[in-house]
Structure 1
Amino acid sequence: MSPRTLLDPYLRLFAVPGSASFSLAAWIGRFPAPMLGLGAVLLVEDASDSYGLAGAVSGALALSYAVAGPLWARLMDRRGQGTVLRVAMAAFLLTGVAFVAAVEGGAPRWSWFLLAAATGFSSPNIGSLVRARWSAVLDPDGRQTAYAFEAVADEVVFVLGPPLVTLLATLIAPPIGFLTGIVLGVAGALWLADQRATEPPLHVADPAIPKRRWSVLTPTLFVVVVTYIAVGAVFGGIDVVVIGFAEEEGAQAFSGLVLAVFAFGSLLAGLVYGLARLPGTLATRFVCSALAFGLAAQLLWGVSSLPVLVACGFLAGLTIAPVLVSGTSLVESRVAPGVLTESLAWTISGLTIGVTAGSALSGAAVDAWGAEAAFAVPAGAAAIAGLLALGGSVLIRERPAPTELVEDRTTG
């Protein structure tokens, strides 16, 4: 089988008019995701000499991003992505620059938290926006391939982003890494905002139907989001612990490269997952991939040097894309009418809430125990993720009420 034949499912995605342009714009717009949290750690640690404070400030940024994501998404489902993105990006640019100025200018530390939170709150979930566009133009089989491709796009960002922000921060100046993430995010989001022809159709709320603010939180979405909180704690914990471990090993400039290895493993797994036609329902795939993720991360207990960390990170990374793609696909397959973007935003918010907790706990663990022992935080969070998915398997196998669904596509 030729490489072209093997990659045909991916090539067919970009036969859709405008798809290459909106996917590329969203890819650029996602660079803040791996750059701002890590950039905030490097910026604050340089100014304060405390990983605990750096992790807490980074966590504040991530937490506000998680809270705001579904709110921005709800607005976009009703007002359109382009209009809302322009407003958000103006606020994102202003607050991001103000945060850097406050840290570098020695402003009171409470202002660091306030401005970091404002920066996160101003940033919509770009990943949910591009997945909503794919969902509007593809059938269920095409969506699995598209979601896998977007998971790969996420991982490419996470391969490139950490080394980029680390090198800019350590070799030039700490603010440069953070500000580069801001600029890339604004550029990509504004490009996406200009592409009105491929926006998902607006959903205008019917005034005759009573509003139920939390109706979007179905049992399926709840299980996936709770599991993703633990998955996100792994991501947030790894960011902080790897930086601390690399510094203890005398090679902090290489911490971004080490983090990229995790993402590279996930990238490879995502490419394969998007091409595979796996047996079982989406619910089964989600539970199995979460258990594999939880088991693979236990390799972190054995980290004793940077080469060992690189090897463990690559192997653990192979399990990341499957759990993210299967969870997103499961949520999309059972989405309620008119809340697709919001539902997808909740999954990313779950990840981001976890990043918040993981960053803060790992920063405190590095300060208290040292970086090598602090790998217990991401390893433990991964184990919890697997257990949460397994414990929630009964809920996600139950077929939701027909009135809550457009279509349940988990069985075909």
Structure 2
Amino acid sequence: MASTVTSNAAKRPGYGQLLRTPGAWGFLLPGFAARQPFAMLTIGIVLLVQHTTGSYGTAGAVAAVTGVSMALFAPQSGKLADRFGQRAVLVPGVLVHAASVSALTALALAGAPLWALFAAAVPSGASVPQVGPMVRARWAARLDGSPLMSTAAAFESVTDEFTFVVGPVLATALCTGVHPAAGLIAEASLTLFGGLLFAAQRSTQPAHGPHPGAGSRPRASALSVRGVRVLVVAFLGIGSVFGGMQVSLTAFTEEIGSPGANGLLYGLFAAGNMLAGVAVGAIAWKSGPRRRLILGYTALTAAASLLWSAQSVALLGALGLAVGLCIAPALITGYTLVESLVPASARTEAFTWLTGAVALGQAAGVTVAGRLADAYGSAAGFLVPLGGTALALVTLVALRSWLAAPASAPADTAPARGVGHRAPVAVD
């Protein structure tokens, strides 16, 4: 009887069971604070630089430099964390980030030339702590081979989306209600204190160094897995949604004379992400993750195609909520596929490639949407999410065979079932 109960529980792991994992709260709480840069940095830069220069295009360009810098350095941070340990990478990283963001803020307020803002934006983006991938790696280390791993993947995506509910709303409220620089000051402070507290949790840090059994073989990069390359392109599309929405919502609320509504609208968009993430983790999926990913991007592209036509806060809020509801399933499924595509020794790097892809897509989205909003208004900026998701969808459909798990996984691979799976399903 006891074995039957245990078996049934294992088939239906829930969030409550996951959160009772020993040591989990020790890295979850500080990790949440240290994730805020990804949600607050871009919007904080856009609001501050637009205030000091009067140009969305200039603001978007500075924000884009941080995004490109993060996208380029995030995978290297993941590699270093896999090799030397998370603490060794995180402590100097958060110190550099706090100093760089402080310098960028001071330069913007002083009316420094654009090249100086770019110079400060590079280290600000490069030093963004990769706490989300690090938390996922900690879950993977503690739950390796457990049915709870799929629940952890859903929980982490919900946490990411909740970050995008809290971060932009907080940054917007501080920038519009306190001081244009208050959003970036809060972002740097949360990063510093949250990152140091997270790094202090040594007992849950994954093992690092050469993976057992690897011998003298050079470890291949996670990007050498072709399925990861497809997911990188797909996540660029999601990043374009985040970037395009941030700039275009800001421009829209400025056009109608209600800049304070920006936080509300972006909060609705992010709330859709979070609600969908909770639902995805609770559903017993019968279809495979590859099919769900393509369907998710199809729905996301369809929802994004209507944004440009919104003429009121109510309609734009409803459309933003719909777009948000479509993002979380795509994100969660993409992260789930990593578990079956990539060896355990390279998963932190793989997660950072995806996180970096979102940042790069966000940077491109902010830049293009900023230029379009300056020239043609906010409606033109909303075309960016549509273009980015459509290109990602075409890539996924054309290269869907690359997302199949290898027939013989590497020895250190411990595939986890897709988010919400309660029984084995076909890949497709």
Which of the five TM-score ranges fits, normalised by the shorter chain? Answer: over 0.9
C-alpha RMSD of the superposition: 1.8
Contact 2:70 2:126 in 1 (8 A): yes
Distance of 1:68 and 1:228 partners within structure 2: 16
Q: Tell me by how many angstroms 1:51 deviates.
A: 0.4
Report the CA distance shift for 1:110/1:172 in structure 2 as closer, same or farther (over 3 A).
same
Distance of 2:165 and 2:416 partners within structure 1: 32
- Which of the residues 189, 192, 208 maps onto 2:216? 208
Amino acid corresponding to residue 319 of structure 1 in structure 2 = C
Report the CA distance shift for 1:140/1:362 in structure 2 as closer, same or farther (over 3 A).
farther
- Which of the residues 161, 168, 184 maps onto 2:167? 161
Q: Tell me by how many angstroms 1:282 deviates.
A: 2.1
Match of 2:3 in 1: none
Distance of 2:382 and 2:394 partners within structure 1: 19
Distance of 1:24 and 1:346 partners within structure 2: 24
Report the CA distance shift for 1:400/1:231 in structure 2 as closer, same or farther (over 3 A).
farther
In the alignment, does 2:152 pair up with 1:146? yes
Amino acid corresponding to residue 130 of structure 2 in structure 1 = N
- Which of the residues 342, 346, 357 maps onto 1:350? 357
Distance of 1:263 and 1:405 partners within structure 2: 36
Match of 2:71 in 1: 66
Q: Tell me by how many angstroms 1:166 deviates.
A: 1.0
Distance of 1:66 and 1:183 partners within structure 2: 22
- Which of the residues 188, 201, 204 maps onto 2:194? 188
Amino acid corresponding to residue 312 of structure 1 in structure 2 = L
Distance of 1:48 and 1:404 partners within structure 2: 55
Match of 2:39 in 1: 34
Distance of 2:360 and 2:105 partners within structure 1: 23
Amino acid corresponding to residue 340 of structure 1 in structure 2 = R
SS at match of 2:246: helix
Distance of 2:348 and 2:56 partners within structure 1: 35
Q: Deviations over 1:364-407 (max 9, x none)?
A: 00011111232112122222222222222121136365448724
In the alignment, does 2:363 pair up with 1:322? no
The more displaced of 118-127 and 7-16 is 7-16
Report the CA distance shift for 1:190/1:400 in structure 2 as closer, same or farther (over 3 A).
farther
Match of 1:305 in 2: 312
Distance of 2:94 and 2:222 partners within structure 1: 28
Distance of 1:117 and 1:337 partners within structure 2: 31
Distance of 1:145 and 1:312 partners within structure 2: 28
Contact 2:37 2:191 in 1 (8 A): yes
Contact 2:369 2:380 in 1 (8 A): no
In the alignment, does 2:115 pair up with 1:110? yes
Q: Tell me by how many angstroms 1:333 deviates.
A: 2.0
Distance of 1:409 and 1:194 partners within structure 2: 28
Q: Deviations over 1:264-298 (max 9, x none)?
A: 01111111111111012222222222222222222
Amino acid corresponding to residue 54 of structure 1 in structure 2 = A
Contact 2:72 2:126 in 1 (8 A): yes
Amino acid corresponding to residue 175 of structure 1 in structure 2 = A
SS at match of 1:174: coil
In the alignment, does 2:342 pair up with 1:338? no
Distance of 1:340 and 1:155 partners within structure 2: 21
SS at match of 2:132: helix
Q: Deviations over 1:2-61 (max 9, x none)?
A: xxxxx9600011111110221121111111111110000011111111100000100101
Match of 2:272 in 1: 265
Q: Tell me by how many angstroms 1:83 deviates.
A: 2.1
- Which of the residues 220, 224, 234 maps onto 1:227? 234
Distance of 2:395 and 2:86 partners within structure 1: 33
Match of 2:370 in 1: 363
Structure 2 unmatched runs, 5+: 1-11, 418-423
Amino acid corresponding to residue 240 of structure 2 in structure 1 = A
Q: Give the TM-score, by structure 2 length.
A: 0.90
Match of 2:136 in 1: 131
Match of 2:185 in 1: 179
Amino acid corresponding to residue 217 of structure 2 in structure 1 = I
In the alignment, does 2:8 pair up with 1:13? no
Distance of 1:332 and 1:379 partners within structure 2: 29
Structure 1 unmatched runs, 5+: 1-6
Report the CA distance shift for 1:194/1:405 in structure 2 as closer, same or farther (over 3 A).
closer
SS at match of 2:20: coil
Q: Tell me by how many angstroms 1:116 deviates.
A: 1.0
- Which of the residues 238, 251, 259 maps onto 1:244? 251
